[in-house]
Structure 1
């Protein structure tokens, strides 16, 4: 341990005068001294614990297991108060790891994974983990370690004492299974695009023989329900009425009937399917059909000659009809 002693000497001149009376000059000397004593080179701070992650026997069944802990910067602090530049080494040693019954050498390393410490009961296997020179300047006399990793390797042959806190009486367990069923779409496909009631003579119209003119083909709609709702669906229709291609002509005033339902300007339920119907379809389309003979047009005797056209608007709705 180096110490430095310094002696400071100063001379103080004393002069005095009273009024204008001259006197002899008096000179005195005061000697000042101070002793600056060097302090110690000390390890002010060090890592108190290294908490490595748990190693299980299942882990060791695959071979040796290495765990790593990162020590933050400043985990080790050395203070040089000796009064002189000091070169020093920070060394570490490790004992064997033990649970009270079994023990093993954990090949502990600090900073450099290859610089492994040899575990000994008396710490004789100490190795330097860093060598530094610390000056005595006001800002340089304190050394702090940089962030470093600590490495611990547990050999596959490591044994453990039995855990007496293990509850061996309860060997039950629960496994929770889960599955998500993704809902699909409710779709309307292949609806009959057009039907015709042919050409009617004014003689038949005026004679009242056109009250139930059948269509030239059946009306068909295909519905596929992949929603998984289990509530089924229903299908509505509204009718625009037959109108002449001559804008000046009046509407035909007809009535269009599908099955037993006379269509109107407002929506009416024409077809439907229950949840059981959908289940029975097994993901395939359900076809709803009205025979051509059941698709009829009533043309009143007040109609005038001309070409007429109208539109049926279909709507597919999830769930049962109200």
Structure 2
């Protein structure tokens, strides 16, 4: 589908976290489709080299613009918004893709990590959206895409912080859609499946697990099964990029869609099974001990 609007102008899209993983694949895909891509990232110098190599774009290509963005720094977010508007005016698409992953039980995960995850996934993106919405409203058209995950559909053990921020992201999108639809701006929440990116590896995840602690029995089984499941389910990021391009073309005021077979399956199961049933299914799949199985002797006698 053409990337030009009804007025004939080339559409522009802002993608956060565009230096790697799903963001990189999506930025390259949309560039090849004719979009004007604003790639927002923490390290522009290194990130843009990778993106230009992936697209074949020259250093002075006006259809590929790099913008420095640290979502945990309000000053950086505000400056990025001004740079974006100076470069492309009101962007048609705003894709909130940037995020961080962490593994560990609630007891094991430090509060500072929770704060950083909410800053990266909620507070920073909300501020960036608030900064860009006035120009998007004046333009009378646009689409905001929030990249969620299976953890946003259902809270998963050992990833509570990640599930919490993705769940919050989805509720934000649902609320905002009702507010901005009258101005011609739609919202899409994208539930991602498992893709072969750094975020599913040890290098891309902050590991807070204590493998010799009180949850060692959980970790031993969950780690083995989780790695096997990811290896089996992981797909190419290019598959996600194709789905994202379709999401940006939607004209509906609000859409929640899953990209990836495992994500689609979870969304369906979440609609069918009651919460208690899905909890039990998750426990069995991950090999988590049954309720009460790890009570101490003092607790049992009490």
TM-score normalised over the length of structure 2: 0.22
Structure with greater Cα Rg: 1
User: Normalization by structure 1: what TM-score?
Assistant: 0.21
Larger RCO: 1 or 2 (CA < 8 Å, sep 6+) = 2
Higher strand share: 1
Structure richer in helix, relative to its length: 2
